Chains A and B, each alone.
Chain A
Amino acid sequence: MMIYLMCLVLFCIGLYCIVIKRNLIKIIIGIGIVHYAVNLAFILVAYRFKGRAPINAPGQVIENMVDPLPQALVLTAIVIGLAVTALIVAIAVRIYEKYGTFDITKIRRLKG
């Protein structure tokens, strides 16, 4: 229970950064922290005490392994998170070219 709460605190730190900060790069950093918290929460659910990694070894019969299903989900989620981060950074670079600043309050006022 305590460990789930610590993972949730990490998520809330990222959420606070997305809502409060004005610099566009800080918002991207907040999104990255939210990615880490969510991936960690999946793997925390899948852990079993005294379990072993889900890989068979030759000549051994392994009795208890940790849950392999959330690991398969998170494996693709990590690589998708990287591609989405690259997309947001590309959009931020284009915004900087057009408006000359990364400040989100000024981007609303300059039109045209």
Chain B
Amino acid sequence: MLELYIILLFMIIGAIIAVQIKDLLSSVIAVGAVGLGLSVAFLLLKAPDLAITQLVVEILCLIILIRATIKRDIPSIRERSGWLAMFATLAFIGLFLLFAYFSLKDLPQFGHPIMRVANNYLKQGLKETGAANIVTSVILDFRAYDTLGEATVLFTAVIGVLAVLRRIGRKKPGEVVREDE
């Protein structure tokens, strides 16, 4: 599993660069590099469905971030927060890491998952549903109710975006609205 450690190290270094750099375009590109590293990590962990989905979703997320925000930013100087805020945040994160370390000991050891429910799905997946891809048969046959909830959340998010970005007021007939680009 040496490759997995190397990819995780690459993602951590990319995340540190994305957080600390001052130019906005460079930090967006660094976050894109973290997302592509995550896609390779999914492939190393034997999940090809997720690798395809993460790759295309990362590309779309980069396009939305660059297109909608970088053209509008007027760069200005931001000074750092005070010393007290930084010290309090680092103390909180240290405490969080300490408690999380104690609770991470109870997880099953890496590489030996407890598959109490999934053993049934693996044995009877092909016979009961007839689909060769077991992940598809889980999301669309065994657990289809969760997919219905996910479709509802997606619908609500799209309606929310269209409601926030609506143009207020009506266009008078014959008026030409000069638009972006």
Decide if A43 touches B81 in the complex (CB within 8 Å).
Answer: no
Interface size in chain A (residues, C-beta < 8 A)? 77
Name A36's closest neighbour in chain B (CB-CB). Answer: B38
Decide if A13 touches B38 in the complex (CB within 8 Å).
Answer: no
B99-120 vs A, Cβ < 8 Å mask (1 yes, 0 no): 0110011011111110101100
Decide if B46 touches A82 in the complex (CB within 8 Å).
Answer: no
Instruction: Pick from B47, B117, B158 the residue with the most CB of A within 10 Å.
Output: B47
A65-101 vs B, Cβ < 8 Å mask (1 yes, 0 no): 1111101111110111111111101111110100001
Contacts of B121 in A (CB 8 A): 68-69
Known contacts A3-B110, A40-B38, A90-B165: A83-B157 contact under CB 8 Å: yes
Contacts of A56 in B (CB 8 A): 125-126, 132-134
Mark out the residues of chain B between 52 and 69 whose CB falls within 8 Å of any chain A CB in the assembled complex. Answer: 53-54, 57, 60-61, 64-65, 68-69
In the complex, B147 has a CB within 8 A of chain A: yes
Decide if A65 touches B60 in the complex (CB within 8 Å).
Answer: no
Known contacts A12-B96, A15-B93: A101-B76 contact under CB 8 Å: yes
Decide if A4 touches B107 in the complex (CB within 8 Å).
Answer: yes
What's the Cα separation between A39 and B42 when bound, in Å?
10
Contacts of A19 in B (CB 8 A): 89
B78-100 vs A, Cβ < 8 Å mask (1 yes, 0 no): 10010001100110010011001
Decide if B135 touches A68 in the complex (CB within 8 Å).
Answer: yes
Select which of A33, A55, A68 is within 8 A of B34 by beta carbon. A33
Contacts of B107 in A (CB 8 A): 4, 45
Decide if A47 touches B46 in the complex (CB within 8 Å).
Answer: yes
Decide if B153 touches A80 in the complex (CB within 8 Å).
Answer: yes
A67 to chain B, nearest CB (A): 5
Given A10-B12, A82-B60, 4 extra CB contacts under 8 A: A53-B46, A68-B138, A75-B53, A80-B157
A-B contacts, 30 of them at CB < 8 A, read A4-B104, A6-B5, A7-B8, A8-B100, A10-B8, A10-B15, A17-B19, A23-B24, A23-B78, A33-B31, A33-B34, A47-B113, A48-B113, A49-B111, A66-B45, A66-B113, A68-B118, A68-B121, A69-B118, A69-B138, A71-B49, A75-B53, A76-B150, A78-B54, A80-B157, A89-B65, A89-B69, A90-B160, A90-B164, A90-B165
